[in-house]
Chain A
Amino acid sequence: MQKWRATRRLLLNSYSSKSRFDHPRSNPISDHSTTISRSSSGFESWTSRIHYRHLATATIQRNPAFSTLNSDDINHFKGILGDKNVIEDEDTLLFANTDWMRKYKGSSKLLLQPRTTQEVSEVLKYCNSRRLAVVPQGGNTGLVGGSVPVFDEVIINVGSMKQVISFDKVSGVLVCEAGCILENLVCFLDNQGFIMPLDLGAKGSCQIGGNVSTNAGGLRLVRYGSLHGTVLGIEAVLANGDVLDMLGTLRKDNTGYDLKHLFIGSEGSLGIVTKVSILTPPKLSSVNLAFLACKDYSSCQKLLFEAKRRLGEILSAFEFLDNESLNLALNHLEGVRNPLPPAMHNFYVLIETTGSDESYDKEKLEAFLLRSMEDGLISDGVIAQDINQASSFWRIREGVPEALMKAGAVYKYDLSLPVETMYNLVEEMRTILGNSAKVIGYGHLGDGNLHLNISTPQYDDVILAQIEPFVYEWTSKQRGSISAEHGLGLMKANKIFYSKSHETVQLMASIKKLMDPNGILNPYKVLPYSIVSYS
């Protein structure tokens, strides 16, 4: 039996989402990203050879109004946090300075690891008084460069604040600190008979504070809704150190302006989230997963329409990937095989149902699928017969970003578009780029969210010029969002006008100025630099 268990563990680990964050052994991007150039003013510029071009039109300079760290500051931090939690060690800093995609690399010299809200408050108060810029950091799994410094901002990592504070077994309200890793919360809740309302490929490393700060979407949004609905309360620390206790656990509370929504999705630019209170759904026993093949995109759409009607309340996920995405996953991921008998299909759809009655749900799903097959919406499909088969189907869909990283350079776009026209963008991109790049499209079809990715062996400015601003303009014309769930971060800090009006952005800037007059929280990100100016 031991041999069996060991082999199973090997198999399971190769499917586990944690492997998504093992540093890829041969990453062409990291070979390029360590070039650091010195600008004439003497400050170390963060730019890398590849990434410099991304900001060709708006090369960022370090804001001279921010102070530079000195030894007094470091001693002060040691006084607040203790020596062990003030980190200047270069290897640790290298990891904290680099984002998951290995695209953005800061040059911070200091990483702080507060353990309590009080420590966060004292740190921020001091930084505000000294005008030291800071970057709030959690699991560092963001995809738009929002979690790493641009220059030498002090990194405040809340990963040490990982206690579960309370859990109400009747209402399902979980109160925990911001540094709790999502997968750990899922395990904790599993023992109680509940689940987290969000699920994403990064669950092995991402932290709930970061999820909330970026309003993470994920695979289950179509069933449980967004964090704006499921988060009941937040405790956050403002730039001046004030602790804002809005950690309510009430389902309904209409007393005044609901300020917690400001912190959900503002990517750490208005305050550091230190505690979260979230409503968790009960864990339902019957989960079924089907992996289906469709011959064209309009079949996928019709399938979505039918699924919402016929599966109704038990539908819990609806994802799609095109043929190129599947091939990428099959070629670059280990231990992954095509669930369907070998044949050329153009699109694949993953449908998951979650309900309380196993046989009823299975019958409902089978009836729906067989009928869809008779109607010609599905050309083939498989239903997972046990949890391991289901995990392997999910591994394919969740592993596409990882496969893209292994394939070379990736231009990643996360767009909200009307479902009818969504895939047209992928096809147009393919026509424009021809053989010079591989264009793939996959995503949360149930939410109207396309992940458009363009894969090339290496980064190339010519290709980038063909992609941007075409993708943003196309999206804007459809009144879509240029960032459905990834956020703006650094990558799209100047792109907000493609999806929001001037007046709206002006108001955002006013709020930012009100809450963070010195602009120390996560500078250079989210809002356009030209709008958020500081004296």
Chain B
Amino acid sequence: METQNIVHRGSFHSAFPSILSRKIHRALTLPIHSSSKIHSSKWASLKIHCPFYSDTLLTKTNLQCSRKSVDKVKYKGIPDIEEDKPKANIRRKNIAVFVSGGGSNFRSIYEATVDGSVHGDIVVLVTNNHVPQSMYAYDADCGGAEYARDKHIPIIVFPKKKDAQEVFSAEDLVIALRSFKVDFILLAGYLKLIPSELIRAYPKSILNIHPSLLPAFGGKGYYGMKVHKAVIASGARYSGATIHYVDEQYDTGRILAQRVVPVLAKDTAEELAARVLREEHKLYVEVAAALCEERITYREDGVPLIQSKENPNNYR
């Protein structure tokens, strides 16, 4: 093991085993029931492996894992299409979901992981909503967090309030996510801008869903009901949902998938929002399924395409 080499690279490394593990441990809500044993023992074994992470090594492809088989993971930055691998031979992916609010997309994807439509598991929920007095995640106050607790999914609160006792930085978040072996990050109504450290750590692995046909009605300030109000005020006759890769600005990464809905003459913003939300749920589940089954390819001009499951020669 190369513990000694790595410890010197970043100042926080020397404190690694003690501070970081404590921090991350505290930042998580680990479920209380017996099923939690699975998570905590995983955590215990991971503590030893954390020292391999450092800023200079924060890319999946450079990850050097110990020989222990439990950590042997295939990190593919851009999943290649392995056409003749049946689903059983494709590794189940680990998904992190980021929410700020109700989390209906999160619930929809979770149910799909349970019923088998999505060949992966949600291993952690990240949310920015927290209760005034405490940084403890079990006080996190959003619909998504409640549901996650119900389903025994660990929760990380990020970013924390400024007056929190310990600083939980973006780097810490990256380390925490790596400890969960997260393959993909799905933003599902997360209102904070994703820090660039996270984007660099997970290139081409962070997706966001936006309730309009991007590039229309996107960018700073366009979120939630504001989007639908703007669509109606513009007189646009069509709207929809867009899933796109995340880069370092709001709503500007490459578009991966879209669905269209009509905007009717007598629509209120709420009615349009409900119509779009129904499509969002279906779309995100389909995209998550494609992600986990490694059916995403890139066209020559850089546009990501989804290979159809039924007909591998068709792309969407």
A and B bind: no
Using a CB–CB cutoff of 8 Å, the interface residues on chain A facing chain B are none
